[in-house]
Structure 1
């Protein structure tokens, strides 16, 4: 008797945001079909949508994440830039006050970042992913529970807009529903062991506002005033990002005891109280385009799915590792996780026993690197909910602070830190002999007494002419 040949695997992705569409891109070449379940309607243009409150805040897509997305979906970078996103060179395209002082801008490019509104970033990825063969979006459809046993997930039950429910079977289910994921509870309902969690929470509150820039933003830098965990009191920070439409996205933040508010009239006042008033001085010359948006759900939360032994289920992005947005690593870590998933899927059967655990381990590696960067700082702020720093943690913190101070005048160190910060390499790069030697020597030059602005950037503060920012030379 003839047997029916086995079809290629079916994949079900829960969540149609950035992580979900990247998961679809990773698995589409190795599947018969990929169904993306999303509870909200998704626009076909880069405009705001429900279910993405973080879109109202500044987002930096570091080089490590942008390169991963380009590998998964070639042509995405061209779409971003064509729609008005900015490619910002690092370190020379940043005006940044670190805990060690102002960075110089006289060096060549070490890495880059993509600066754009979150709606634009997601739209380009979504458009590319939904154009792939076999990928289908089921919008306005909400996942309500998983199907399967304690050993293997076999699908999910979803609820449609009209209230009816449907069981969708799949060979692999990917949870990309974000910070509020209910997957740990759903797995428990199947009898699977509890998913362990690690939480580090500095109590960061974000307040953001969009502005019409007072200058052509082509070539405009990222302006960043960082918090310093070594100082007494709350850690406050702020960022101006050039985004599409000749606008600035401005985000301010503070840890417990120093939080910004949603009061429009106090936004610039808060910026003026940062370690430098530079951001406030630029906001005095810009036009606000809407009210202040506030976010408080910013804890670092890591769900250790890599220790799970449940087949047929994977978690990606914030569903597995949610990071404090202050460091801008969420999108990049998710993208690198999706790229690791694609590479593993290319080497074997995604339905094979043990594949999900191997995939979760691969996904967790870039997330773990971003996690260490975030919690290493957050755990040091007053009132942080975290494990008390041990001797090794304090020693590492002292070394990193030494590197940050040295980086203000040493390209070897700033390049190494930039490679790590953009997730292009791991923290091991900071232990390279060249970097160790530079840290031992310390800063080569005295610290700058203020930000390294070029004439166009200075002209805005003087209310003078506004030439294109990329047409003027920079001073050190």
Structure 2
């Protein structure tokens, strides 16, 4: 049966066992007879590293919009994550964030939340939920090497196993979730579909990360972040500490060209001390490193505008990093993939016939649009960025958002407007709503904080550590 019919497709193939691939399988499994995931590597049985995911070594979190999307696709998954040790962080109540405009207040009225955990744990919980469904299978050690069909309709994929054997998988729907290494542009060209637009915006940021044993139980401990300021006359740098399962801290530091972190474990904490505030280094002085330093240069924002193609074949979709990959400093990738999968599920539930794939690819682009505007709207203002320079409109918008950010350090309304967008629950255009514009014009209602806003219990814990180390301030 063909996807262009008014009945549901009988079979779907997902290229890639990534978290985006698993979420794609979750989206379609109720509307097909069978989903087969084609994965180049072995999939681990537990919350362990998965080959081909170098970014797993760096900090990850789910925005509210992403967590809610995963819960829509796989009900109960967030509770399973929390039961396995993940943390639910109320925004901004349990956050110590030093923005370019100052310290954000820890408002007691939390409007959103983050889910923090190791990437391995998040992958495992999602993977386990998907693969327990008998309608979903996995073909490991197998790569998709081409599409079957023509420019009107894709009818399957050609695959190759590690021993070189090739086979054709006939299917009604192919979903490419193969990530940053996608071959989709070349496959489309092979079908005679040309004119694909793409964008690459690279700030040159390098990530260095390691995991620490926290000096005290991390339940209830805040997220810590020191953000880069593109206005400073030095390479941009940033860092963050996320509480993860097992009373551990996942720590990442980032630096732009001219100020990159390195693999050197002995240089990790000194680099953290060079950030705009020494808070990360101060905290790490009490923690025990558990891993070596992992380094990555893969932080380019890259996007394919599939939704703008005049011709798009029925039976084909792309999701996750295969469509758009973001600078990971903004924590958007998994959440955007989950929202795209929800869009796919919604359109399949409507039983659309011809044009389903084109409609769906456009729907997948909507959450990408918001995340892309957030990520690239910041990155283009660093002097090291390649791919685009800010024009007059970009500079005016950046100045406005900076003013709104400064206002949010002392205004709950401004802080909520920003976090609505950062949580991927409203579009960036909401920031120019008249009420938000007026709030930004009035400025902060409270005086700025001159130091991180620790709670009394957090301060007592840190003082106890200082006494124990003989370094009481």
Per the TM superposition, whether the score is higher than 0.5 is yes
How far apart, in 2, do the equivalents of 1:90 and 1:383 lie?
31
Asked whether 1:323 is paired with 2:318, we answer no
Q: Deviation per CA, 1:144-185: give whole Å up to 9, x if none.
A: 111111332211111123321111011111100001111111
The alignment partner of 1:462 has SS state of: helix
> What is the aligned partner in structure 2 of residue 287 from structure 1?
288
Distance in 1, Cα, partners of 2:302 & 2:100: 25
How much does 1:254 deviate?
A: 1.2
Distance apart, 1:292 and its partner CA = 0.3
Q: Distance in 2 between matches of 1:103 and 1:7?
A: 49
1:348 aligned residue: 351
Aligned twin of 1:458: 459
Q: Secondary structure at the match of 1:261?
A: coil
Tell me if structure 2 keeps the 8 A contact 1:107–1:411: no
Shift of 1:128: 1.0
Q: Report the counterpart of residue 361 of structure 2 in structure 1.
A: 360
TM-score normalised according to structure 2 size: 0.94
Q: Give the corresponding residue for 2:181.
A: 180
Which residue of the partner structure matches residue 438 of structure 1?
439
Counterparts of 1:348-427 in structure 2 under 5 Å?
A: 348-349=351-352, 352-427=353-428
Report the CA distance between 1:256 and its aligned residue: 1.9
User: CA–CA distance in 1 between the matches of 2:392 and 2:194?
Assistant: 33
Match of 1:314 in 2: 317
Matching residue of 1:128: 129
Partner Cα distance (1:7, 1:240) in 2:
45
Which whole-Å CA distance do the structure 1 matches of 2:215 and 2:458 have between them?
10
User: Is the CA contact (8 Å cut-off) linking 2:286 and 2:465 kept in structure 1?
Assistant: no
CA contact 1:237–1:274 (8 Å) conserved in 2: yes
1:104 alignment partner, SS class: coil
SS across alignment from 1:279: helix
2:44 partner SS: coil
Alpha-carbon shift at residue 463 of structure 1 (Å): 4.2
Residue of structure 2 in register with 1:116 after alignment: 117
SS of alignment partner, residue 62 of structure 2: strand
Name the SS for the 1:464 alignment partner.
Answer: helix
List runs of 5+ in structure 2 lacking aligned partners: 1-5, 468-473
In the TM superposition, residue 259 of structure 1 has moved relative to its aligned partner by: 1.3
Any conservation in 2 of the 1:184–1:194 contact (CA below 8 Å)? no
Let me know the Cα RMSD of the aligned residues.
1.6
Superposed, which structure 2 residues align to 1:146-295 within 5 Å?
146-295=147-296
Match of 1:469 in 2: none
By how many angstroms is 1:395 displaced?
Answer: 1.2
SS of the residue 1:242 aligns to: strand
Other-structure match for 1:333: 336
- Secondary structure of the residue that 1:168 maps to in structure 2? strand
1 CA distance for matches of 2:443 and 2:379? 25
SS at match of 1:156: strand
Conservation of the 8 A alpha-carbon contact between 1:282 and 1:460: no
Check whether the contact 2:8–2:31 (CA below 8 A) recurs between aligned residues. no
Deviation at residue 458 of structure 1 after TM alignment: 2.5
Deviation at 1:446, TM superposition (A): 1.8
- The 1-side partners of 2:286 and 2:195 are apart by 53
3-state SS of 2:179 partner = coil
- Conserved in 1, the CA contact under 8 Å of 2:9 and 2:173? no
CA contact (8 A) 2:320 2:336 kept: yes
Q: Secondary structure, in 3 states, of the residue corresponding to 1:223?
A: strand
Q: Distance in 1 between matches of 2:267 and 2:448?
A: 31
TM-score relative to the length of structure 1: 0.94
Q: Which runs of 5+ in 1 are unaligned?
A: 467-476
Task: Give how far 1:331 is off.
Answer: 0.6
Q: Deviations over 1:78-100 (max 9, x none)?
A: 11001000000000110000111
Is the deviation greater in 387-396 or in 456-465? 456-465
